[in-house]
């Protein structure tokens, strides 16, 4: 029995381990940053991989001083982050309204506008 168990990936024990790992990954993805995370923390955890750690862009456009994002209204930024735009995913499920506000404040600070 023990030999068979090792050979079969569908052994209940192994299956349990895969399930736990899968669930943990799902929970992490769905939860996103801590509710109390600062705008800078949220940005570095979920935005920097596409917009660059220094806001200068990458997959997504430059968000820093003088960028088109700097000229947009706060409402446009909030809407873009909530709903997504083009290749940018929606963050409605990942970030709360308060977190989105905080990340917009962070962008404004970096853009030198507040
Ligand atoms: C998977 C990559 C990706 C991630 C992650 C991402 N973005 Fe984007 N973002 C994009 C792309 C691509 C665009 C351009 C969308 C378009 O207009 O077609 C964009 C556009 C934007 C714009 C509008 C810029 C403009 O000039 O109109 C803002 C603001 C923005 N992103 C902020 C954020 C913030 C804040 C986060 C983190 C919460 C974030 N993005 C996460 C890819 C990403």
Every domain of the chain and the residues it spans: 1-31, 35-114
pLDDT of residue 22: 62
For ligand 1, residues with CB inside 6 Å are 46-47, 49-51, 59-61, 63, 68-69, 72, 77, 80-81, 85-89, 91, 103
pLDDT of residue 32: 85
Residue 51 corresponds to which tokens in the numbers above?
């917009």
CATH for the stretch 35-114 = 1.10.760.10
pLDDT of residue 20: 72
User: Across the 114 residues of the chain, what is the mean pLDDT of every consecutive 10-residue run?
Assistant: 58 70 59 92 98 97 97 98 97 96 98 78
Which pTM was predicted? 0.81
pLDDT of residue 29: 55
Residues 97, 103: Cα–Cα separation, whole Å: 10
Q: Which residues pair with 88 in a beta bridge?
A: 85
Q: Which residues pair with 85 in a beta bridge?
A: 88
């Amino acid at each position: 029995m023990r030999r068979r168990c090792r050979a079969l990936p569908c052994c209940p024990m192994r299956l349990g381990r895969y399930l736990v790992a899968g669930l943990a990954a799902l929970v992490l993805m769905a939860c996103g940053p801590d509710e109390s995370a600062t705008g800078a923390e949220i940005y570095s955890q979920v935005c920097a991989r596409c917009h660059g750690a220094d806001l200068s862009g990458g997959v997504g456009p430059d968000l820093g001083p003088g960028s088109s994002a700097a000229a947009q209204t706060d409402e446009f930024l909030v809407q873009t982050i909530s709903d997504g735009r083009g290749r940018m995913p929606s963050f409605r499920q990942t970030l709360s309204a308060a977190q989105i506000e905080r990340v917009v404040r962070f962008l404004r600070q970096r853009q030198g506008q507040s």
